[in-house]
Structure 1
């Protein structure tokens, strides 16, 4: 039982760091640009499909990951410059409606290009199979690589935001975009850069997660809902909060799905009540965080 619990903890951590890649871009876009982007899940899907297609054509998983970054970033730049740039000064309802329309366009466009059948990414042979951890725990090597890669991206993003001139401009743009623009910074170019960065992270997340499951049309929408929960818990606009929130959500969701049905079975003889509660658990967590800290764990008060 102890070994199984440790395995679920690692699964929760892996889910958390993948959610962070999705949520980091979302919280950057909202924090800096004030834009509610429901199409962020579509960029996740674009990255997954680009990776699956390139892997099928070349047999290279590394090229597939590069393709996921490039395709999602290019799609992000395209929709930001052609559509979203006209929505920054508009009401959030207009942004929601426009980006919801983009979801439909991306879904049907992807179906027209790739068809309705799912695609698959294969784990590279050097990363396949289990590895033995201290204590005799056997755990898939690829999932450990995902944890390490996600944490490395989180560190790199933190260094970018806090230690570079571009990062300083991003922080300043989130705090006071009018003043940044008045100081001579090209705010339109900054917005495009932020959106492309967020899109690339979403695309990378889609490719990595798509290696563990099928790549199919509409795969980004369920993840988008969870990513919104993450940024609300962590604090809108905070990259550090997105990491903390993602790990909390990943652990809560994974351990809840594992432990609550077991507890329900022991108490009532049926796992159904535990499964229902497990599906609600991350939303209960979000509600509790908002009661204690309405701005999120690491968000700034409005």
Structure 2
């Protein structure tokens, strides 16, 4: 019983690590830019597929992580500069644009990589068996947890300890005043959206190494991401951390004890929190 419980806890932390990287990307796009990027799941899938191709061609997993994340960051930047900038502030046009992009990415991915589930092969040095508290656990999952902590700390530094972060937050709170003070809002928005895409690209490679990449999984990934930011609170980095931990453990224990209901369990805390605190656990009242 102890062994199973410990493994489920660690599985939940691993899942939470991926959830955090996913959720932080959408938190940036929607919480800071007010852009509901419904192509978020498609970005994840494409980043994972690009990483898969790089691993298959070079057998270099770190290179795949860089290639997958930077490719999606570039795609996000170009999409924001060429398309989103033209409809900025229009919720419906922005939503329709991101839906269209997700459909295009899904069809292109299916044409290139086919319909079979794919997984990125990990080199042995990244996945050694680690003995901890009487059990043996895959080393790569600890790497996932460590990377998510590093990403969380880096985002906190950027947003709350740099001039760039102050400019981003100022542009969110009062765009007109920030522009009058010399803040280039267009560049700030491009940076934020590219960073959001970079994070989901990272999540795609990490998730594709831990789970599987398959057509249609982008919808599930988008659902997870939306639940994370709604539960934690729009634009709240701390909320993303807490909601990721909650959902990670729920999914882990749900798959073990009630697999037929595990997917629906993630909506329970969201519904409870929305009934009590509509802005989410750490969101601001607006």
- Structure index of larger Rg: 1
Runs of at least 5 residues in structure 1 that lack an aligned partner in the other structure: 262-274
3-state SS of the aligned residue for 1:149? helix
- Determine if the alignment matches structure 1 residue 126 to structure 2 residue 110: no
Q: 2: CA distance between counterparts of 1:88 and 1:44?
A: 23
Kindly state the Cα deviation for residue 112 of structure 1 after the two structures are TM-superposed. Answer: 3.0
Kindly state the Cα deviation for residue 213 of structure 1 after the two structures are TM-superposed. Answer: 2.8
Name the structure 1 match of 2:248: 250
Name the structure 1 match of 2:155: 157
Name the structure 2 match of 1:145: 143
Kindly state the Cα deviation for residue 288 of structure 1 after the two structures are TM-superposed. Answer: 0.7
- Determine if the alignment matches structure 1 residue 41 to structure 2 residue 25: no
Contact 1:65/1:207 (<8 A) preserved = yes
Query: After the TM superposition, which of the residue ranges 69-78 and 125-134 deviates more from structure 2?
Result: 125-134
Name the structure 2 match of 1:295: 279
Name the structure 2 match of 1:234: 232
State the Cα deviation string for residues 14-37 of structure 1 (Å, max 9, x = none). Answer: 111111111111111112211111
Alignment of 1:205-224 (within 5 A): 205-224=203-222
Q: 2: CA distance between counterparts of 1:40 and 1:104?
A: 11
- Determine if the alignment matches structure 1 residue 71 to structure 2 residue 71: yes
Name the structure 1 match of 2:191: 193
C-alpha RMSD over aligned residues:
1.5
Q: 2: CA distance between counterparts of 1:187 and 1:15?
A: 35
Contact 1:45/1:218 (<8 A) preserved = no
Kindly state the Cα deviation for residue 118 of structure 1 after the two structures are TM-superposed. Answer: 4.1
TM-score by length of 1: 0.90
Q: 1: CA distance between counterparts of 2:41 and 2:65?
A: 17
Q: 1: CA distance between counterparts of 2:189 and 2:264?
A: 35
Alignment of 1:15-94 (within 5 A): 15-90=15-90, 92-94=91-93
Kindly state the Cα deviation for residue 276 of structure 1 after the two structures are TM-superposed. Answer: 4.2
Q: 2: CA distance between counterparts of 1:43 and 1:26?
A: 11
Q: Given the superposition, is the C-alpha separation of residues 158 and 141 from structure 1 closer, same or farther in structure 2, using an over 3 Å criterion? A: same
Kindly state the Cα deviation for residue 227 of structure 1 after the two structures are TM-superposed. Answer: 0.8
Runs of at least 5 residues in structure 2 that lack an aligned partner in the other structure: none
TM-score by length of 2: 0.95
Q: Given the superposition, is the C-alpha separation of residues 277 and 43 from structure 1 closer, same or farther in structure 2, using an over 3 Å criterion? A: closer
Name the structure 1 match of 2:14: 14
Alignment of 1:166-205 (within 5 A): 166-205=164-203
How many residues matched?
286
Name the structure 2 match of 1:266: none
**Which stretches of structure 1, 4 residues or longer, exceed 6 Å deviation after superposition?**
none
